[in-house]
Amino acid sequence: MNLDLFSDSNGNDAAHDEADASAQIAHLKHVLHRHAHAYYTLDAPEIPDAEYDKLFRALQAYETKFPHLKSPDSPTQRVGGAVLPEFQSVRHQVPMLSIRTETDTESSGALAFDSRVRKELAYDAQAPAIDYVAELKFDGLAMSLRYEQGILVQAATRGDGEYGEDVTQNIRTIGQIPLKLPQNVPGILEVRGEVYMRRDDFEALNDRQRKKIAGGAKGEKTFVNPRNAAAGAVRQLDSNIAAQRPLSFFAYGLGEVQNWPQNLKPFQTHYELLQSLKLWGFPVAEQTRCVQGSEGLIQFHAKVALERDALPYDIDGVVYKVNDLSLQQKLGFVTREPRWAVAHKFPAQEALTVVLDIDVQVGRTGKLTPVAKLAPVFVGGVTVTNATLHNEDEARRKDVRVGDTVIVRRAGDVIPEVVSVVVEKRLANSLLFTMPQVCPVCGSPALRDEGEADYRCSGGLYCRAQQKQAFLHFAQRRAVEVDGLGEKLIDQLVDAGIVNTLPDLYKLGLTALVQLDRMAEKSALNILAALEASKATTLPRFIYGLGIRHVGEATAKEFARHFGTLDAFMSATEESLLAVPDVGPVVAKSVIAFFAQAHHQEIVAQLRACGVHWEEGSPAEKPVQILSGKTVVLTGSLPTLSREQAKEMLEAVGAKVAGSVSQKTSYVVAGAEAGSKLDKALALGIAVLDEAGLLQLVKGSLHDSA
């Protein structure tokens, strides 16, 4: 192929008509896509890098001369030049759901999953083994790639599963992700997978960062682990910078699919789906296998565990999926998790290090947490310098002291913890750890409620630590979201006494902000604009942003759905709170206690007066089910059902499963070795059922006399 595309025999620029240019561009795009696939996906390059670069430059030359012929699927568009002003929110048409995690890291974890699947399918002992697909569980960032008519038009992060962030420009920089698919694909195709960073690429990136820092570069930093480096690159506003971060991608599933081609045979199995993804140009982990039954799962888990450290990227377990798609559909979902899939974790990774000091940190709710400051140690894929001791009882139980040599554990994204002390290496003059009697931040008394393991600062919003954490929590992306209001800015605002309560944020003026360190007028105006924008929020985000103890993001959504309005939620009784799905006595009492404090009600009123608002509606109607309004208590071991399985069955038909027996209890389901709960039920005259009775009750065939 002639690459001297714009020179005639005299070396002068020659005019090429548009038709010829269009044909040349189409040909170059085809050739470059083919070579990129061979290089990135097949790991089998067909031409030297210099030849690929020559073809690439030829395409760039054509597109420069005929810019209107440049298209989104061009290889030249992998590296964008524009700095994005912000990330747009993307709603997933098919939610990006999480899968259940099996924390039993032994072979029994695989056995338990296979047993659950067979039970759900009503397979007896004579039924054949179930076919599964076994995959790696990557330690990266979940991503959804949307193709329309075979062209990559959007890439979005998982976000909260319903809404993610549009990161298309950055994802275009990943060479393994096709910009254009073959012709015989669905008109709309969402490919789900994981963006990650290889360990060698991560180390090379950090080496470059260290050299920049040593050279005096400002604002540069090294990265903690490959996953964080990958996530930071994906969420980088400048796609030129993102392109400098070496990212990779593995595909493992589909989201929305529409306009299926008539000549494309529908998938019967998940493995067929994965093979089609490979044919369409997506990398799929070569370790993926089809296996049969629990024995196949166990062998795969053991094999990958042995190979884990030799892999070029981080994983923290494996994933099992029922292969037959019709069986997946039959199994369905429970609590937004598929019954047909599970993530089987590996045993936690551990390492030895030394405790340099023990600090006490103050959390958002005033909780005092002892934290061991460690000599840096690489464990679980990251360099660990801190490990939680949880509370005084746990620190005393393990008897962790300054100077001790300890075993530290980190698994996945779990906070590192001290497992145990190597007593043989203890220093002779070491001192027993004791919790301080006052808050280390504000000096207020540290109190411990009866029955609780944690000490808490009694200073409330008087305590700077709690003030700062309350502001950070309120302003975070999953709560009310105030873009740009980060930890350093909040530190200055609180330390200077400019803000003391949440409503003070909306009373900030330009004069107060520009006086802060490193706060120019433009930055101050951006903060004020972000505060103004944050006034339009949603009820679940606002409830979550209030920082009510024990009320997480999912629970806030349930409260908003159940009550419809904030006033109804604030005035709810404990009984009405307990009627909300997955809300127990601890959460209900926490909500009651929160709104019983006058200053919390005043904060809400002031936030509303400042213009913070959201849409409200009618409370969600709860369908009447077989056991709606009934309370059931489980005690003892049932012959075939686990406690969790029995609970899921009861809740699926409207029952509330309680932990203790009272006069409000409708039934007690008792198995082997039932204890005091059974005795109390008999004393109160409450109906007692065995497993067979439970199954009849769930099916509605037991006469309801309770």
Could you tell me if residue 565 is inside a domain?
yes
Q: Work out the average pLDDT over 137-152.
A: 94
Tokens of 629: 């309004």
E strands within 502-571? none
Q: For 41-50, 135-144, 159-168, 173-182, which range has the lowest pLDDT when averaged over its residues? A: 41-50
Q: Work out the average pLDDT over 382-390.
A: 89
Better-predicted residue by pLDDT, 620 or 420: 420
Which pLDDT score, from 0 to 100, does residue 197 have? Answer: 93
Q: Work out the average pLDDT over 329-335.
A: 87
User: Does residue 177 sit in the same domain as residue 244?
Assistant: yes
- Provide the CATH number for the domain around residue 179: 3.30.470.30
pLDDT in tens, 46-100: 666 556 777 888 898 888 889 899 888 888 776 444 444 578 889 999 988 888 8
**Do 657 and 644 form a contact (C-beta atoms < 8 A)?**
no
Residue where a domain stops, chosen among 386, 415, 447: 447
Using the structure block, give the residue that is written with the tokens 């990559």. Answer: 152
Residue where a domain stops, chosen among 477, 501, 534: 534
Q: Does the structure show a pLDDT above 90 at 256?
A: yes
- Provide the CATH number for the domain around residue 467: 1.10.150.20
Could you tell me if residue 559 is inside a domain?
yes
Could you tell me if residue 264 is inside a domain?
yes
User: Does residue 434 sit in the same domain as residue 473?
Assistant: no
Q: Work out the average pLDDT over 623-633.
A: 80
Within 10 A of 297 (CB to CB), how many other CB atoms are there?
24
Better-predicted residue by pLDDT, 136 or 383: 136
pLDDT in tens, 295-326: 999 999 999 988 888 899 988 899 999 999 99
Tokens of 210: 């260290």
Which pLDDT score, from 0 to 100, does residue 146 have? Answer: 97
Could you tell me if residue 626 is inside a domain?
no
> What are the CA-CA distances from residue 206 to residues 212, 229, 559 (Å)?
10, 9, 44
Most confident range (mean pLDDT) of 55-59, 288-292, 583-587 is: 288-292
Listed in sequence order, the residues at least 6 apart from 141 whose beta carbon sits closer than 8 Å to its beta carbon are 157, 158, 194, 195, 196, 227, 230, 231, 234
Which pLDDT score, from 0 to 100, does residue 459 have? Answer: 73
Q: Does the structure show a pLDDT above 90 at 675?
A: no
Q: How confident is the model at residue 534 (pLDDT cuts 50, 70, 90)?
A: very high
User: Does residue 355 sit in the same domain as residue 438?
Assistant: yes
In three-state secondary structure terms, 179 is: coil
User: Does residue 316 sit in the same domain as residue 184?
Assistant: yes
User: Does residue 176 sit in the same domain as residue 253?
Assistant: yes
Could you tell me if residue 197 is inside a domain?
yes
| pTM for this entry | 0.51
- Provide the CATH number for the domain around residue 680: 3.40.50.10190
Q: How confident is the model at residue 249 (pLDDT cuts 50, 70, 90)?
A: very high
Average pLDDT, the chain: 86
Which pLDDT score, from 0 to 100, does residue 380 have? Answer: 67
Residue where a domain stops, chosen among 502, 534, 566: 534
Q: Which of 659, 651, 654 is nearest to 634 (CA)?
A: 659
Rounded to whole angstroms, the Cα distance separating 158 from 97 reads 9
User: Does residue 332 sit in the same domain as residue 196?
Assistant: yes
User: Does residue 147 sit in the same domain as residue 189?
Assistant: yes
Using the structure block, give the residue that is written with the tokens 């390059």. Answer: 45
Q: Work out the average pLDDT over 206-214.
A: 81
Q: How confident is the model at residue 271 (pLDDT cuts 50, 70, 90)?
A: very high
Q: Does the structure show a pLDDT above 90 at 524?
A: yes
Could you say which DSSP state residue 208 is in?
H
In three-state secondary structure terms, 656 is: strand
User: Does residue 362 sit in the same domain as residue 436?
Assistant: yes
Could you tell me if residue 324 is inside a domain?
yes
Which pLDDT score, from 0 to 100, does residue 672 have? Answer: 84
Q: Work out the average pLDDT over 154-159.
A: 91
Q: How confident is the model at residue 328 (pLDDT cuts 50, 70, 90)?
A: very high
Q: For 16-20, 434-438, 662-666, which range has the lowest pLDDT when averaged over its residues? A: 16-20
Q: In terms of residue numbers, what domain contains 470?
A: 460-534
- Provide the CATH number for the domain around residue 65: 1.10.287.610
Q: Work out the average pLDDT over 474-500.
A: 93
Burial of 290 (0-12, 13-18, 19+ CB in 10 A): middle
User: Does residue 200 sit in the same domain as residue 316?
Assistant: yes
Better-predicted residue by pLDDT, 260 or 352: 260
Which pLDDT score, from 0 to 100, does residue 609 have? Answer: 96
- Provide the CATH number for the domain around residue 433: 2.40.50.140
Q: How confident is the model at residue 9 (pLDDT cuts 50, 70, 90)?
A: very low
User: Does residue 150 sit in the same domain as residue 270?
Assistant: yes
Q: Does the structure show a pLDDT above 80 at 612?
A: yes
Q: How confident is the model at residue 625 (pLDDT cuts 50, 70, 90)?
A: confident
**Range 398-402, long-range pairs (CB < 8 A, 24+ positions):** 399/432, 400/355, 400/358, 400/372, 400/433, 401/355, 401/358, 401/426, 401/427, 401/430, 401/431, 401/432, 401/433, 402/355, 402/356, 402/357, 402/358, 402/430, 402/431, 402/433
Active site residue ranges: 137
Q: How confident is the model at residue 354 (pLDDT cuts 50, 70, 90)?
A: very high
User: Does residue 369 sit in the same domain as residue 403?
Assistant: yes
Using the structure block, give the residue that is written with the tokens 């599933």. Answer: 253
Could you tell me if residue 356 is inside a domain?
yes
Which pLDDT score, from 0 to 100, does residue 43 have? Answer: 44
Which pLDDT score, from 0 to 100, does residue 35 have? Answer: 78
Q: What are phi and psi of 509, to 5 degrees?
A: -120, 165
Q: How confident is the model at residue 439 (pLDDT cuts 50, 70, 90)?
A: very high
Could you tell me if residue 99 is inside a domain?
no
User: Does residue 201 sit in the same domain as residue 341?
Assistant: yes
Length of the chain: 706
Q: Work out the average pLDDT over 580-609.
A: 88
Which pLDDT score, from 0 to 100, does residue 1 have? Answer: 44
Q: For 3-17, 426-440, 450-464, which range has the lowest pLDDT when averaged over its residues? A: 3-17
Q: Work out the average pLDDT over 354-377.
A: 92
Number of domains in the chain: 6
To which H or E segment does residue 237 belong? Answer: none
